[in-house]
Amino acid sequence: MQNNQHKFDTKALHAGIEPDEATGAIMTPIYQTSTYAQPSPGVNKGYEYSRTQNPTRHALEKNLSALENGKYGLAFGSGLAAIDACMRLLKRGEEVISTNDLYGGSYRLFTKVHEQYGLKFRFTGMQNTSDVEALINKNTKMIWVETPTNPTMNIIDIEAFAIVAKKHKLLLVVDNTFASPYLQNPLDMGADIVMHSVTKYIGGHSDVVMGFLALNDDEIRAKLAFIQNSVGAVCGPMDAFLAIRGIKTLHLRMQRHCENGAKVAHWLKAHPKVDKVYWPGFESHPNHEVAKKQMRDFGGMISFSLKGDKMENAFDLLSRLSVFTLAESLGGVESLAGHPATMTHAALPKTEREKNGVTDSLIRLSVGVEHINDLLSDLEQAMS
């Protein structure tokens, strides 16, 4: 069923997914093959070698690009592999302006890998377009936006930066991992490429590491497919199958993530031991209006700090949790808690992370789909 005019919930199940031609199997088969028989040289059924094309991966790419309202999709071996492919669109000496509050692994890839090969990264808050415009020079080629940001949940105005990018002929790439395509579709707001760590909400079951790019431009698609095939940054067919299966319930899971997220955020805000709560659904959030404009709901990611900002208090709380699991990652059905300063954002120098609010007591929650009463009681007992 290819009809991309369907609503999100219908597309999640059906876009790009056809019953198997050979058997009628409803579920896309796992084409666990590296190669394909050719009747004669140069004659094939569209598949030659699985680094270049694989039918299970292809079905996932069609499905997920439809959810981002994109013409094309490319699935990678991880979120970072997808980000890396975007950077390989650029040449030595060219520059990227990126939000300064972003996943620590993205920061590490930019500063420790791509700077070595001659790319230059300029980091800024991205709360105003004028701060970004002040950094644009003749070498600037890309604006890298992550929104909501990891872990302090800043919201960046995608439409406003799409206008800046068009004006200066820059590529606008949006890391949409925290929102998922259910909450936000950056291509509709003028972004050139949308990037996902499929590992998170899209896969949804903490059983796959995968990345994804969706886009509309034919030329950029050809360049990215060339890079992906040349570098070999592809996901395997089994993982593509698991992602397809996960996506079938993305809309249902996201509804509960948002519902539980709102309740946990309000509960934390009222707690006497909690200092700051970072969640874009609060009217007091500095970018609440932008969040309302570009997101359909506010998601299940929340960060909070403790009064006194002591690392040992954060560690103590984290070790007492039992329904929330202390672990890296996010977006799975089960609730996770993390300590960004020593876990996901350990790659950032202390001064940099503290400037962005990643203080010693900051705790990040990925609120799952369990019963809300169990989540709140768990937090209550861990706090006391």
Placement of tokens 């909070």 in the chain: 304
Asked if residues 135 and 142 have their Cβ atoms less than 8 Å apart, the reply is: no
Name the CA dihedral angle for 215, 219, 221, 227, rounded to a multiple of 10 degrees.
-140
Distance CA 244, CA 17 (A): 9
Q: Which of 70, 79, 204, 332 binds ligand P1T (CB under 6 A)?
A: 79
Q: What are phi and psi for residue 301, nearest 5 degrees?
A: -100, 130
The residue count for binding ligand P1T (CB under 6 A) is 19
Q: Which of 28, 50, 53, 106 binds ligand P1T (CB under 6 A)?
A: 106
Nearer to ligand P1T by Cβ, of 136 and 253: the residue is: 253
Placement of tokens 């990040």 in the chain: 364
Nearer to ligand P1T by Cβ, of 126 and 136: the residue is: 126
Angle subtended at Cα 185 by Cα 84 and Cα 172, rounded to the nearest 5 degrees? 45
Q: Which residues pair with 97 in a beta bridge?
A: 122, 143
Could you give the count of Cα atoms lying within 13 Å of 26 in the half-sphere of its Cβ?
4
299 binds ligand P1T (CB under 6 A): no
Minimal CA–CA distance to 200: which of 367, 379, 7, 16?
367
154 binds ligand P1T (CB under 6 A): no
Q: Which residues pair with 124 in a beta bridge?
A: 99
- List the catalytic residues: 51, 103, 175, 200
- Per-residue burial over 45-70, b = 16 or more CB atoms within 10 Å of its CB, e = otherwise: eebeebeebbbbbbbbbbbbbbbbbb
**CB-CB neighbours of 367 under 10 Å:** 27
96 binds ligand P1T (CB under 6 A): no
Nearer to ligand P1T by Cβ, of 13 and 227: the residue is: 227
Nearer to ligand P1T by Cβ, of 136 and 247: the residue is: 247
**CB-CB neighbours of 205 under 10 Å:** 15
Separation of first and last alpha carbons in the chain: 53
Kindly state the smallest distance separating residue 370's Cβ from ligand P1T, in Å: 19
301 binds ligand P1T (CB under 6 A): no
Q: Which of 65, 100, 152, 177 binds ligand P1T (CB under 6 A)?
A: 177
335 binds ligand P1T (CB under 6 A): no
Residue 334 DSSP symbol: S
Nearer to ligand P1T by Cβ, of 141 and 345: the residue is: 345
Residue nearest ligand P1T by beta-carbon distance: 79
Q: Show the binding pattern over residues 114-153: x = contacts ligand P1T (CB under 6 A), - = does not.
A: --------------------------------x---x---
Q: Which of 78, 140, 287, 335 binds ligand P1T (CB under 6 A)?
A: 78
328 binds ligand P1T (CB under 6 A): yes
Q: Show the binding pattern over residues 197-226: x = contacts ligand P1T (CB under 6 A), - = does not.
A: x-x---------x-x---------------
Nearer to ligand P1T by Cβ, of 95 and 175: the residue is: 175
Helix (H) or strand (E) holding 366: strand 363-366
Return the range that interacts with ligand P1T (CB under 6 A); candidates 14-22, 72-80, 246-254, 290-298.
72-80
Nearer to ligand P1T by Cβ, of 146 and 378: the residue is: 146
Write the DSSP assignment of 282-321 as a string of letters: STTSTTHHHHHHH-SS--SEEEEEETT--HHHHHHHHHH-
Distance CA 350, CA 340 (A): 11
Kindly state the smallest distance separating residue 182's Cβ from ligand P1T, in Å: 16
Kindly state the smallest distance separating residue 79's Cβ from ligand P1T, in Å: 2
Q: Which of 180, 344, 356, 359 binds ligand P1T (CB under 6 A)?
A: 344
Kindly state the smallest distance separating residue 37's Cβ from ligand P1T, in Å: 33
**Footprint of ligand P1T (CB under 6 A):** 78-80, 103, 105-106, 146, 150, 175, 177-178, 197, 199, 209, 211, 328-330, 344
